[in-house]
Structure 1
Amino acid sequence: MSMGNQIAAPTGQRLRVGIVGLGIGRKHIQGWREHPQVDVVAIADPDAARLAAVGDEFAIAGRFATAEEMFATGELDVVSICTPNKFHKALTLAALAAGCHVLCEKPMAMSAAEGREMLAAAERAGKRLMINFSYRFSAQSRALKAQVDAGVFGEFYFGRSVWHRRRGMPGFGGWFGTKALSGGGPLIDLGVHRLDLALWLMGYPKPVWVMGNTYNPIAGELARQSGKTFDVEDLATAFIRFDNGATLALEASWAANIKEADLMETRLLGTKAGLLQQNVNEGYTFDAHIFTEQHGAQLDIHVHPPVGEANSGMYEYAAAILANRPHPASGEEGLIVMELLDAIYASARSGEPVKIG
């Protein structure tokens, strides 16, 4: 049964956006509202109390118990999919069939096979598909990318990208730790961000093989003691080789015996310079540095990004749609990430390297 399902008609060149799932979906609402030509006009969530609370908080009149009811209005231009991973594919296909562009939360899907279905559906529908790789949109990430594009680093040949938590299982006992709903643990939850960031800075080189492993000695034991469902890893590691000879080490954990409560770090080594992006004070703000050599001296450069350069992925997607230009974080890049995640998990199961492509 739909509730408050009247969606206002658009005026001028504006985008009407609907949000499915109001957990991380709240941040999507805030991101979309950064753009002056976007109206978030509809939200959908089966939790009636949350639907009412978020609708009241953001003064959104279009409120629906199901995504299908929201899509059926035929009055949306773009949809954000912000549900557990298990539902990304089906909801993306439904939104595309309803004539909407889609912004899908990461990871793209439960597998690369599902991702391919989503891409094919977007092509058939003539609609866009973007994946919310949000960490590439920080001010520091943008500033580093500008230096990459200017040739400051030369060719990247090795990198390490990490997100470790000392103890940080999201919703312990909930859908994040249930493989049937999530598809995996911290690799697919946290590692996906650090993987995309490194690949984006490296120019998305083509991966050719992966060696990976997964572990769950800490969270698995905590789950057993508390009677909670937890059938995914609490730590994953991988070593990726690309067709240009470059390699990347990837690490992600929800539970690890480390000093920091939260450690995010991406290091890339290039033929002319290296870079480091890391979180500050174990939090969610970032710092960035460039390491190089000039005129016989080693230089450490602290990157200060321009003020006002940190628009969200939602803003950038809206701007691309309205200007009819390519958008960032494409479904094609999302599929490469899914192929790597699949290969890492397959390697962990077999104990052998896995070829890609």
Structure 2
Amino acid sequence: MSKKIAIIGAGGMAAYHINGFRSAGADVVAMADVNHAAAQATAAKHGIDKTFGDVAEMLSALPELDGVSVIVPNKFHAPLALQALQAGKNVFCEKPPALNATEMAELKAAAESAGKTLMFNFNNRARPESYAMRGYVNDGSIGTINSCQAKWIRRAGIPGFGGWFTNKALAGGGPLIDLLHMVDLGLHFMGYPEPAHILARTYNDHIDDKAFKGPWGIPDNAKGVNDVEAAAHGFVTFTTGQSLSFQISWAEMNEREECSCTFQGSKAGGMVRRLFGVDGLDETSIDACQLYTTENGVQVNRDVKVATDETMGRERSAANFIKTLTGEEAPLNTPAEALSLMKIIDGAYASAASGQPIAL
């Protein structure tokens, strides 16, 4: 019998979740949003029968639900995920997992108490390039990854001014918490080692400069605030002796938008990268996946060929949630990993505020 899933949040990301769930054989049966008209419009577009303006009403009316998908502004991730877990539902939640590690720890405990699956849309783990590279990690070709550089930089990519993205109370922070994907991907390749210390700095240059607005996002709100960082840089050490550096920005003087994860292992290195086009995903975008190794005493940079995925793993990540519920696949991420990631993000903001390294 197919899994029955409901979507909470009628925004643009819902399409990826719906398509991914359906590709894995799930039945998307309901759509909920506090803006009921938006829920009705998105449901009609995607052929979903039931709509609700209240999540509690939906959970009460549909006890047969196997899981819910949470796609709302960051502040509401943890409360809605917790509400669904306490109602006995499995949960697939957009990133970030929560506003901070304290909220994430509460979610982890709730999932364990309920005996339910809790996963997050770290979709870059589900890109074909990432699956391929993880294969090299798993088969021993890489050896131990000693160091990693995680980067998601934009030159002009602020997702609207005065909306929830630039409001710390609603978003938890700026690009560091928004574009956490490459930090997560690096940790994924490294085996999610236990973090020890972090030193970080944040910068707010250009955060209220309309010339640095990105080609996507939400409408500006003249009455809103822009109290988050525009860029964050940091260095993390781990109890294992491994290390990770990161460079994350919405607005910074860079050549072009880049998201990449590069690492150096004891046997080989590797890199997964997307260079975005002028308007985001267009014909000038460039994807690369390379393995750096030695063959017969010769230094070799090997191009790893994979299928293209313009959804950047978003649909495949959602499909993995369903396949986890059916026992067909292992989960691409766990609550313990999400908690570790949020500890690093909390530590980065604390270090930037104090100007000192932070023990994690």
Per the TM superposition, whether the score is higher than 0.5 is yes
Distance 1:129 1:187 in 2: 22
Partner of 2:206: helix, strand, or coil? helix
Per-residue deviation, 1:25: 2.2
Partner of 1:110: helix, strand, or coil? coil
Q: What corresponds to 1:271 in structure 2? A: 266
Percent identity reads 37
Comparing 214-223 with 153-162, greater Cα deviation is found at 214-223
Per-residue deviation, 1:128: 1.0
Per-residue deviation, 1:71: 1.2
Per-residue deviation, 1:102: 0.4
Aligned: 1:351 with 2:355: yes
Distance 1:96 1:177 in 2: 29
Q: What corresponds to 1:105 in structure 2? A: 94
Per-residue deviation, 1:173: 2.0
Q: What corresponds to 2:34 in structure 1? A: 46
Comparing 328-337 with 49-58, greater Cα deviation is found at 49-58
Q: What corresponds to 2:295 in structure 1? A: 294
Per-residue deviation, 1:228: 4.8
Distance 1:166 1:306 in 2: 28
Per-residue deviation, 1:35: 1.1
Q: What corresponds to 1:28 in structure 2? A: 17
**What are the within-5 Å matches in structure 2 for residues 74-89 of structure 1?**
74-89=63-78
Partner of 1:117: helix, strand, or coil? helix
Distance 1:220 1:339 in 2: 28
Per-residue deviation, 1:324: 7.3
Q: Cα 1:242–1:58, aligned 2, differ >3 Å: closer, same or farther?
A: same
Distance 2:161 2:233 in 1: 21
Task: Return 5+ residue gaps in structure 2 as ranges.
Answer: 213-221
Q: Cα 1:268–1:79, aligned 2, differ >3 Å: closer, same or farther?
A: same
Residue 19 of structure 2 aligns with an amino acid whose one-letter code is Q
1:320 to 310, 324, 331: 324
Distance 1:54 1:352 in 2: 47
Q: What corresponds to 1:117 in structure 2? A: 106
Residue 91 of structure 2 aligns with an amino acid whose one-letter code is V
Residue 134 of structure 1 aligns with an amino acid whose one-letter code is N
**What are the within-5 Å matches in structure 2 for residues 54-69 of structure 1?**
54-69=42-57
Partner of 1:217: helix, strand, or coil? coil
Aligned: 1:243 with 2:239: yes
Structure 2 length-normalised TM: 0.90
Partner of 1:22: helix, strand, or coil? coil
**What are the within-5 Å matches in structure 2 for residues 78-227 of structure 1?**
78-190=67-179, 192-222=180-210
Q: What count of residue pairs does the alignment treat as equivalent?
A: 341
Deviations 1:23-72 (A, max 9, x none): 22232112111112x00001111223321221111111110012111111
Task: Return 5+ residue gaps in structure 1 as ranges.
Answer: 1-12
Partner of 1:218: helix, strand, or coil? coil
Deviations 1:121-169 (A, max 9, x none): 1111111111110001000010000011111111111111100111111
Residue 288 of structure 2 aligns with an amino acid whose one-letter code is D
Distance 1:64 1:279 in 2: 38
Structure 1 length-normalised TM: 0.91
Aligned-pair RMSD on alpha carbons? Answer: 2.1
Residue 200 of structure 1 aligns with an amino acid whose one-letter code is H
Residue 105 of structure 1 aligns with an amino acid whose one-letter code is E
Indicate if the aligned counterparts of 1:320 and 1:327 stay in contact, CA closer than 8 A.
yes
Partner of 1:240: helix, strand, or coil? strand
Q: Cα 1:29–1:171, aligned 2, differ >3 Å: closer, same or farther?
A: farther
Q: Cα 1:353–1:29, aligned 2, differ >3 Å: closer, same or farther?
A: same
